A = this chain, B = another copy of it.
Amino acid sequence: METAVQLISRSPITNKEYPLPQHTDDRAGIDNFLLLHPGKKVVVVQGLGFVGSVMALVVANALTEEYAVIGIDLPTASSWWKICSINEGVFPVLASDPKISQYYLNALQKKNYYATCDPYAYSKAAVVVVDINLDVKKQSSAIGQEGYSVDMSSFKKAIESIGNNCQPEVLILIETTVPPGTSEKIAKPILEDCLKKRNLPADKIKVGHSYERVMPGPDYIDSIQNFYRVYAGTDEKSANAVETFLRTVIRTDKYPLTRLATTTATEMAKVLENSFRAMNIAFMVEWSRFAEEAGVDLYEVVNAIRLRPTHKNIMLPGLGVGGYCLTKDPLLASWAKMNLFGSAEGLHQSEKGVSINDKMPLYAFEYLRSQYKYPLEGKKALLLGVSYLNDVGDTRYTPVEGFYDQLEIEGCVIALHDPHLLYWEEKNCRVNQNLDELLEQQYDIIVVTTGHKEYRSNPLLFEKLMQQMSTFIYDTIGVLTNDEIKMLSVKHVVKVIGRGDL
Contacts and interface: CB of A to CB of B under 8 A. Distances in A.
Interface of A: 180-181, 213, 228, 230, 258, 260-262, 264-266, 268-269, 272-273, 275-277, 279-280, 282-283, 285-287, 289-291, 293-297, 300-305, 307-308, 310-314, 333, 336-337, 340-343, 345, 347-350, 352, 356
Interface of A is mostly: helix
Contacts of A333: 287, 290
A352 B311 CA distance: 20
A304 B269 contact: yes
A265 B349 contact: no
14 contacts: A180-B290, A180-B296, A230-B305, A260-B301, A268-B287, A268-B290, A272-B314, A275-B287, A276-B283, A289-B343, A290-B347, A293-B341, A294-B337, A311-B313
Q: Which of A277, A305, A312 has the most CB of B within 10 A?
A: A305
B343 A276 contact: no
A347 B287 contact: yes
Contact of A297 (B265, B283, B337): B265
B272 A279 contact: no
A287 B313 CA distance: 20
Contact of A296 (B265, B303, B311, B350): B265
Contact of A265 (B286, B300, B348): B300
Contacts of A262: 295-296
Contacts of A264: 294-296
B276 A314 contact: yes
A302 B282 CA distance: 21
Q: What is the oligomeric copy number?
A: 2
Contacts of A337: 290, 293-294
A264 B293 CA distance: 11
A282 B352 CA distance: 13
A304 B345 CA distance: 26
Nearest to A314: B276
Contacts of A305: 230, 269, 272-273, 276
A352 B349 CA distance: 9
A348 B283 CA distance: 10
Nearest to A296: B265
B258 A304 contact: yes
A345 B363 CA distance: 15
Nearest to A303: B258
A469 to B, nearest CB: 30
A192 B230 CA distance: 60
Nearest to A272: B287
A282 B261 CA distance: 25
Contacts of A213: 308
Contact of A294 (B280, B285, B341): B341
B341 A286 contact: no
Given A289-B345, A290-B341, A293-B342, 14 more contacts: A181-B294, A228-B308, A258-B307, A262-B296, A265-B300, A268-B290, A269-B301, A272-B302, A277-B310, A283-B349, A286-B349, A310-B313, A313-B313, A349-B356
Contacts of A312: 312-313
Nearest to A287: B272
Contacts of A272: 287, 301-302, 305, 314
A302 B266 CA distance: 10
A280 B265 CA distance: 20
Given A273-B308, A300-B261, A308-B228, A268 B286 contact: no
Given A264-B296, A276-B311, A290-B343, A350 B283 contact: yes
Would you list the 6 A-B pairs with minimal beta carbon distance, nearest first? A258-B304, A228-B307, A230-B304, A293-B341, A269-B301, A265-B296
Contact of A279 (B268, B283, B301, B340): B283
Q: Which of A304, A342, A345 has the most CB of B within 10 A?
A: A304
A279 B230 CA distance: 26
A448 B352 CA distance: 32
Contacts of A230: 304-305
Contacts of A228: 307-308
